[in-house]
Structure 1
């Protein structure tokens, strides 16, 4: 990441965590190119007409909070919720899934 090779770092993390086992079947150089191709800047989303719910936690990593900061400014129809006391795993069993579910339910029924 210090070298600015973010796509490569993401592929390393995804393969290491085995979040999606199918990724192990693809050569690294293919996955890195795929991630690079999908990389967008926040400004690319400025014309999005859909309502968007941005969820984050006070304890989330700084880079995720920064991404939400930028997206909440750029997205024309964004609603942002920051959960006190939660991190990135807020929806998981080690977080508080009911709070996250309540926010999702409120957004989608509005």
Structure 2
């Protein structure tokens, strides 16, 4: 699906920044479940459902991977390929035990 986004003109850095924004929202849901997320009811419910499937250490690890990856993509000679590699790192990291175990 990333390839389809790129063909539609999406910037690889912006796609990863959107993932980063989602992680920030999930972290807010976990850290302060009653806080106002400034989202529609549907979006807030989706965020709460997603956050219920993750733990804060997993979100923090994904955040670090994305932050580093965004810098790499911004300087890469092939930004689309670099963005795909960042996504693959996230997929691989999701299969690892949570940090601290």
TM-score class, shorter-chain normalisation, is under 0.3
More helix by share: 2
Instruction: Select the structure of larger CA radius of gyration.
Output: 1
Larger RCO, structure (CA 8 Å, separation 6 or more): 2
